[in-house]
Amino acid sequence: MKKNITLLFSLFLLFAGLVQAHGPSRQKVVIKEQIAAAPQAVWQVIKNFHDMSWHPAVEKTEGTGGNEIGATRVLTLGGGGKIHEKLEKYNNEKHSLFYRIEKVDVKVLPVTNYSSWLSVAPAADGGSIVTWKGAFYRGYPNNDPPPELSDQAAVDAVTGVYQGGLSNLKKLLEQGS
Amino acid sequence: MLGALLLTDMAAAAGPRAFITNQGDNSVSVIDLESARITATIQVGSRPAGIAVSGDERRIYVTNPESREVYLLDGIGLKMITRRAVGKGPLGIALKGDGSRVYVADWYEDLVYVLDPVDLSIIARIPVGNSPSGLEVSPDGNWLYVADRDDDRISVVDTGQNRVVARIDVGKRPFGIRAGRDGKRLYVANVGSNDLSVIDLEKREVIATIPVGSTPYGVAVTPDNRRAFVTNQHDNSLSVIDTATLVEIRRMEIGEFPEGVVASPVGGRVYIANWFDNELVVVDSESLEILEHIPTGESPRAFGIFIARGS
């Protein structure tokens, strides 16, 4: 185990300089959650770039810029890992925002070149459909990645983030806790 | 080998077709441009990305960076003819206009492979810069231009000698490149600096740098050389450049994660593959009206010239 961590760390150091380096295929994850609450009510909970308290994995959000384009935030996850993100698009009327990860250790989230859309749309029955979707490359930019930095590992990790967040969001809005 | 072919329309291809690499489902969508629909789907290797089409549409070349192969497909019979293991990360691919040479950039090995167009055998390996990505051959066939993505540079290869004879500094992380059909200019999308470098190919120097949208991927140029189009991946937009004034005259919303882009060789149309939306968008290159959204396979990249330039 120690050997693997050392190897990963040295690989991370090696590739830390290759900011734009990435593997051959970009991955796509799209998770939708139907929520029995009006779109405006759902948007109220998720619309603040500096408030990620609706996500159970996020312990703390710090940053500046409000919801202006270019605003940045640092998410601290339970366990101490940090993700640095930047807001790139924001549409209050259309209930959508688009942001990018500027920096993350692949041990925290095994991805590179990650960008993501979070949006709320009306459902036919008066409720909402929240869509969280991301585009990213795996954490290891060269061929033959170790399994924990493979395409599948990246997809699984991001899927976990989206599902964990959206399930909790649904609970918050439907149970009013 | 019948298992490798899924044919949905037996009509012989009349009009020009687009060949779209779908990285998400390991296939190539064959799209008839007149009827604006998929007429065939061909299974290829793993995670196809790059594409090149011979002038008569008979030979379709695909790079599979994940399975590290180049595939040659029969554009009429719609099945694989042959394939070859090429390097460690074959991505960018381009054909000489007369079809006599296939060039493949390997972005892990920092090489351009020169392949025989019939059996894909390796004729030469040309050392170029770091992470070579987009390729373009000059209309007269004498020069191969290579985007050395991690060197922020274009290498100019003499196709007779198969070696680099010049280098031109451009913006940060050049990726997709395209020359005008008159051979006078090369347009370079710089994914790191969000701009387009315009190179005068005679002087071999940058004459303009035009800001475009976020993380530009590909460039197309109309056959009359009057307009260039740039796909801005993260911006979900298409930059429209007037090549006379060298100004971005419009940035239009085009769909999610636009990538591969080609102008119709007969003029009037521009085709954009939207990687997230899984579609090929058709835009009128004059009025800029969006004419069609044609569904493709999963995660189309179409990195290269995916419509035949004409025999």
Average pLDDT (B204-233) is 97
Structural domain spans, chain B: 2-305
Determine whether the interchain pair B65/A28 forms a contact, defined as Cβ–Cβ distance below 8 Å. no
Query: How confident is the model over A102-128, as pLDDT tens digits?
Result: 999 999 999 999 999 999 999 999 999
Cβ within 8 Å of residue B161, ≥6 positions away? none
User: Alpha-carbon distance B81 to B72, whole Å?
Assistant: 6
Q: Report whether A67 contacts A49 (CB < 8 A).
A: yes
DSSP string, B244-277: TTTEEEEEEE--SSEEEEEE-TTSSEEEEEETTT
Determine whether the interchain pair B23/A100 forms a contact, defined as Cβ–Cβ distance below 8 Å. no
* Domain encompassing residue A100: 2-175
* Nearest C-alpha in B relative to A116: B234
Average pLDDT (B130-142) is 97
Q: Which residues pair with B273 in a beta bridge?
A: B280
Average pLDDT (B252-264) is 97
Q: How many separate domains does chain A show?
A: 1
Distance from the Cα of A165 to chain B's closest Cα (Å) equals 22
The ipTM value here is: 0.82
Average pLDDT (B42-51) is 95
Name the residue facing B88 among A25, A135, A143 (closest C-beta). Answer: A143
Give pLDDT, residue A143: 87
Q: How many CB pairs under 8 A join A and B?
A: 40
Provide the CATH topology of domain B2-305.
Methylamine Dehydrogenase; Chain H (2.130.10)
Q: How confident is the model at residue A23 (pLDDT cuts 50, 70, 90)?
A: confident
Give pLDDT, residue A22: 75
User: Taking the CA of residue B100 as centre, how many other CA atoms within 13 Å lie in the half-sphere pointing to its CB?
Assistant: 6
User: Would you call B87 an interface residue with chain A, using a CB distance cutoff of 8 Å?
Assistant: no
Convert A75-107 to b/e letters by CB count within 10 Å (16 or more is b): bebeeeeebebbbbbbeeeebbbbbbbeebebe
pTM: 0.89
Determine whether the interchain pair B234/A18 forms a contact, defined as Cβ–Cβ distance below 8 Å. no
User: Alpha-carbon distance A105 to A111, whole Å?
Assistant: 9
Q: Report whether B120 contacts B70 (CB < 8 A).
A: yes
User: Alpha-carbon distance B2 to B80, whole Å?
Assistant: 10
User: Would you call B163 an interface residue with chain A, using a CB distance cutoff of 8 Å?
Assistant: no
For residue A59, give the CATH number of its domain: 3.30.530.20
Query: What is the greatest pairwise CA distance in chain A?
Result: 54
Q: Report whether B215 contacts A20 (CB < 8 A).
A: no
User: Alpha-carbon distance A116 to B284, whole Å?
Assistant: 30
Strands B50-53 and B17-22: unpaired
Reply yes or no on whether the pLDDT at B177 is more than 90: yes
Reply yes or no on whether the pLDDT at A14 is more than 50: no
DSSP string, A76-88: EETTS-EEEEEEE
Alpha helices in chain B (DSSP H): none
User: Would you call B97 an interface residue with chain A, using a CB distance cutoff of 8 Å?
Assistant: no
* Nearest C-alpha in A relative to B259: A26
CB contacts, 8 Å: A133 with chain B: 276
Query: How confident is the model over B182-216, as pLDDT tens digits?
Result: 999 999 999 999 999 999 999 999 999 999 999 99
Query: How confident is the model over A139-169, as pLDDT tens digits?
Result: 998 889 999 999 999 999 999 999 999 999 9
Determine whether the interchain pair B49/A24 forms a contact, defined as Cβ–Cβ distance below 8 Å. yes
Residues 203-222 of B with CB under 8 A from A: 214
Cβ within 8 Å of residue B143, ≥6 positions away? B137, B156, B157, B158, B159, B201
Average pLDDT (B128-135) is 97
B112 residue type, one letter: V
Reply yes or no on whether the pLDDT at A13 is more than 50: no
CB contacts, 8 Å: B214 with chain A: 88
